[in-house]
Chains A and B, each alone.
Chain A
Amino acid sequence: MTSSLSPVVRNHLSALRILLVLTAITGFLYPLAVTGVAQGAFPYQANGSRITRHGTTMGSTLLGQNFTLPEDRRRNSGRAPGPDPAWFQPRPSAGGYDPLASGASNLGPDNPVLVRTIEARRAAVARFDGVDPRDVPADAVTASGSGLDPHISAAYAHEQVNRVARVRGLRPATVHALVTAHIQGRVLGFLGERRVNVVQLNAALANHR
């Protein structure tokens, strides 16, 4: 059938056919098989490790969220809502914790804009939490790579305890214990960093009545 075609055309037809065959295998059969096994064996993970309350999805343990004041309580319209002192605050985010806009600030290590931003964040966090600016840890003043980092350091979590306890009318020791219970060690003891998941911590705080 194809023997009458020129070798160049025949070569490209072979190329197209093998692409279509491999697309069928690696582009359809393979991802659908993985989806099937994943949904069957690990439905919780495959669907995004969701946090639910009374049957409603309230987020994912993997994705950070904003814990800001409701929009209608904004002091000046046009400004982004400020952090809500009743919640533990996550790291700064380049994308405002919007999963449709993941990403980093991409500001260079000697960029004056980044230096000024970090200094302003340090002052703001210290004022907000009522602590010495020197005690504000690095993760509290730097944006993550994804803009969706759900974690903060244990130091930053502890640093926020007094403010959260005061606003919620809880004993600092109670909130401190809650934070300590949410500190996650390194995976297998040596992979990655120690951290506190802000979303899970705040979800626990919401249930703490």
Chain B
Amino acid sequence: MSGTLAGWLQILALVAALALSYRPLGDAIAHVLTTPRHLRVERLVYRLVGVNGDADQRWSAYLRGVLAFSAVSVLFLYGFLRLQNLLPLSLGRPPMPADQSFNTAASFVTNTNWQSYAGESTLGHLVQMAGLAVQNFVSAAVGISVVAALIRGFTRKETDRVGNFWVDLTRITLRILLPLAFVFAIVLVAGGVIQNLHGAESIPTIAGGHQSLTGGPVASQEVIKELGTNGGGFYNANSSHPFENPNAFTNWLEIYLLLAIAFALPRTFGRMAGDHRQGYAIVAVMALIWAASVAIVTVDELHSVSSRAGHAAGAMTEGKEQRFGVWASALFAASTTLTSTGAIDSAHDSYSPFGGGMTIFNMMLGEIAPGGTGSGLYGILVLAVIAVFVAGLMVGRTPEYLGKKLRGREMKFASLYILTTPTVVLAGAALAMARPGERAGMLNPGPHGFSEVLYAFTSAGNNNGSAFAGLSVDTTWYNTALGLAMLFGRFLPMVFILALAGSLAGQAPVPVTAGTLPTHRPLFVGLLTGVVLIVVGLTYFPALSLGPLAEGLQ
């Protein structure tokens, strides 16, 4: 079979798998978010926690729950990292320094999973398993909870209640994420991913040298790292490490897992809104952007022997694994940067100028195609609100989406949402570039060095977590600045989303008339895609032109 045909087949098989799980997974999540029935174990959890599982909350109480849970999580994880040397299974590793612990705690709680440390030389097994991997579950569940509140804002009438955060968090973790993680963790082990509690073992090699064979509960963390669009690797090399991703099948499965929930959530949206066509329109926009991005990265990596290193080597194989090759690596790179996952199976820093630039642009889109678990859907729903508003301006009507009027109050929250991340990203990158010490952290010269800094803040602000890893980011300044960028980039948008949800829920729906813009037709799909590209393109174009564009056009 030719490489091109095989490459196409792996993409088509992925699309088919995602299409097959769209309905059952989306419907299952909708059921979990709407059923009044609690499981016995959930009732036990609510009793232990001391909350009433049957009482819905106002948007402000829901938000206080999200923020309290996240604040407690950051402190807990910070303490865990600082004290790991006193705990069992620490493998004799010292505590993580204060600035790096802050960065790591913020990173895992915000679903970013940016890593300024190397797992295999820094962390013991307990903190990976009971600290970091727990946040892989719950930060993903928080994202889905917040989008559930927003959907209820659209679907409920004249109420001030948007759901119960504790119930959403518990149900998504226990009923959706945990069973899927368990099943696919076993599949990954069968494929070769390790799962043990050994420390590193020194062994003789075939040629008479020595090598340290590492151990760890890798599969159980790997699976939720992808499924929850987290992306923080057990090892420094992330999913390019053979113990995390041993062959092309596990690689394909990991790409599927990191896309599955985010691509199924529009179904959940359509089902809860009582109109599946609304879900299809949203997923169509996501799929269009994803397909275009996969195409651009793949073509660029295949044909970028025009870059000097590619020309010297004969193919873009620097930073890529032989078992995956260029096609599977490009597919992973586009998918991971479009989903806020940030896991990598190849080194993005060594990608061609436009291929690597595309991974930055993917993140700049705001992680919406399909985006992070939950955060992708609420991100694109805000853009849908903007698109409806723009269309309303063109014809001079009060815009409405799913029967809810988009008045000044709603548009203020949507605008604030749209402005937050670019502010964090561009201000952070500008600040770093203004400081000689931080500029010195670049590994590569010229525009590519600027791309490294731009990538870092884009990744942190959009909660992606992947890196142009040449940049030296384990400094007090970068740990602090990127930690803050992750926190602002995660929680300010959540404030606006939940405020928007509360504002929408209080409205009585307006009847559909001949003048209502249908939001399930191809016209709307095109409009929304256009809004996504224009809003992002205009915001980031100057920064992109200084980095990847300048590099590619040299």
- Over the window 1-38 of chain A, the binary record of Cβ atoms lying under 8 Å from chain B Cβ atoms (1 yes, 0 no) is 01000000011111111110111011110110111011
Chain A residues near B121 (CB-CB < 8 A): 100-101
Give complex CA distance A119, B192 in Å: 35
Chain A residues near B173 (CB-CB < 8 A): 22, 25-26
Chain A residues near B324 (CB-CB < 8 A): 192-193
Contact B241 A148 (CB under 8 A): yes
Chain A residues near B346 (CB-CB < 8 A): 104, 145
- Over the window 323-365 of chain B, the binary record of Cβ atoms lying under 8 Å from chain A Cβ atoms (1 yes, 0 no) is 1110011000000000000001111011111001000000000
The verdict on B541 contacting chain A, using a C-beta distance below 8 Å, is no
Contact A191 B248 (CB under 8 A): yes
The size bracket of the interface on A is: 35 or more
Contact A99 B212 (CB under 8 A): yes
Contact A192 B325 (CB under 8 A): yes
B461 shortest CB reach to chain A, Å: 21
Contact A46 B194 (CB under 8 A): yes
Chain A residues near B13 (CB-CB < 8 A): 190
| Residue from the set B65, B217, B242 with the largest chain A CB neighbour count within 10 Å | B242
The verdict on B535 contacting chain A, using a C-beta distance below 8 Å, is no
User: Which one of B301-309, B397-405, B433-441 contacts A?
Assistant: B301-309
User: Which one of B179-187, B285-293, B406-414 contacts A?
Assistant: B179-187
| Residue from the set B121, B205, B249 with the largest chain A CB neighbour count within 10 Å | B205
Contact B185 A34 (CB under 8 A): yes
Contact B235 A65 (CB under 8 A): no
Nearest A residue to B137 by beta-carbon distance? Answer: A26
User: Which one of B44-52, B367-375, B482-490, B512-520 contacts A?
Assistant: B44-52
Contact A58 B203 (CB under 8 A): yes
List 18 other contacts, CB 8 Å, given A17-B49, A108-B443: A21-B48, A22-B137, A26-B224, A27-B134, A34-B219, A35-B197, A38-B186, A39-B196, A45-B192, A48-B215, A51-B206, A65-B205, A99-B211, A108-B444, A114-B309, A142-B313, A145-B320, A149-B322
Contact B243 A48 (CB under 8 A): yes
The answer to whether residues A49 and B246 also contact, given A58-B205, A189-B1 and a CB cut-off of 8 A, is: yes
The verdict on A128 contacting chain B, using a C-beta distance below 8 Å, is no
Give complex CA distance A98, B131 in Å: 26
Chain B residues near A189 (CB-CB < 8 A): 1, 6
Contact of A15 among B72, B193, B304 (CB under 8 A): B72
The answer to whether residues A14 and B49 also contact, given A45-B194, A102-B235 and a CB cut-off of 8 A, is: yes
Give complex CA distance A104, B316 in Å: 14
| Residue from the set A27, A143, A188 with the largest chain B CB neighbour count within 10 Å | A27
Contact B347 A66 (CB under 8 A): no
Chain A residues near B469 (CB-CB < 8 A): 103-104, 106
The verdict on B321 contacting chain A, using a C-beta distance below 8 Å, is yes
Total contacts A-B at CB 8 Å? 380
Contact B211 A63 (CB under 8 A): yes
Contact B448 A27 (CB under 8 A): no
Chain A residues near B349 (CB-CB < 8 A): 104, 106-108
Chain A residues near B429 (CB-CB < 8 A): none
Chain A residues near B316 (CB-CB < 8 A): 109
Chain A residues near B50 (CB-CB < 8 A): 2, 10, 13-14, 17
Contact A37 B186 (CB under 8 A): yes
Contact B213 A99 (CB under 8 A): yes
Chain A residues near B554 (CB-CB < 8 A): 110
Contact A102 B241 (CB under 8 A): yes
Contact of B217 among A31, A102, A109, A111 (CB under 8 A): A31
A-B contact pairs, 9 of them (CB 8 A): A49-B246, A58-B206, A66-B205, A87-B207, A104-B347, A111-B309, A191-B328, A192-B324, A203-B206
Give complex CA distance A90, B550 in Å: 35
Contact B204 A56 (CB under 8 A): yes
The verdict on A146 contacting chain B, using a C-beta distance below 8 Å, is yes
A184 shortest CB reach to chain B, Å: 8
A-B pairs, 6 with minimum CB distance: A192-B248, A145-B240, A193-B325, A27-B130, A104-B347, A106-B470
The verdict on B191 contacting chain A, using a C-beta distance below 8 Å, is yes
The verdict on B97 contacting chain A, using a C-beta distance below 8 Å, is no
Contact B242 A146 (CB under 8 A): yes
Give complex CA distance A39, B304 in Å: 44
The answer to whether residues A137 and B318 also contact, given A19-B72, A97-B211, A111-B448 and a CB cut-off of 8 A, is: no
The size bracket of the interface on B is: 35 or more
* Residues of B near any A CB (own CB < 8 A): 1, 3, 5-6, 9-10, 13, 45, 48-51, 64-65, 68-69, 71-73, 76, 118, 120-121, 129-131, 133-134, 137-138, 166, 169-170, 173-174, 178, 181-182, 185-186, 189-198, 200-201, 203-209, 211-215, 217, 219-221, 224, 235-237, 240-243, 246-249, 251-252, 304, 307-310, 312-325, 328-329, 344-347, 349-353, 356, 443-446, 448, 451, 468-470, 551, 554
Give complex CA distance A115, B344 in Å: 23
A152 shortest CB reach to chain B, Å: 6
Chain B residues near A101 (CB-CB < 8 A): 118, 120-121, 236
Give complex CA distance A196, B212 in Å: 23
Chain B residues near A41 (CB-CB < 8 A): 186, 189-190
Contact A193 B192 (CB under 8 A): no
| Residue from the set A14, A84, A99, A146 with the largest chain B CB neighbour count within 10 Å | A146
Chain B residues near A26 (CB-CB < 8 A): 133-134, 137-138, 173, 178, 224
Give complex CA distance A45, B218 in Å: 12
Contact A193 B347 (CB under 8 A): no
Chain B residues near A60 (CB-CB < 8 A): 213, 242-243
Give complex CA distance A39, B349 in Å: 37
Contact B178 A25 (CB under 8 A): yes
Give complex CA distance A87, B205 in Å: 12
Contact of A107 among B68, B72, B190, B470 (CB under 8 A): B470
Give complex CA distance A107, B356 in Å: 12
Give complex CA distance A186, B446 in Å: 38
- Over the window 38-76 of chain A, the binary record of Cβ atoms lying under 8 Å from chain B Cβ atoms (1 yes, 0 no) is 110110011111110000111110110111101000000
Contact B195 A35 (CB under 8 A): yes
A115 shortest CB reach to chain B, Å: 5
Contact B321 A146 (CB under 8 A): yes
Chain A residues near B310 (CB-CB < 8 A): 109
Chain B residues near A149 (CB-CB < 8 A): 242, 321-323
Contact A106 B347 (CB under 8 A): yes
Contact A31 B317 (CB under 8 A): no
Give complex CA distance A46, B323 in Å: 20
Contact B249 A191 (CB under 8 A): yes
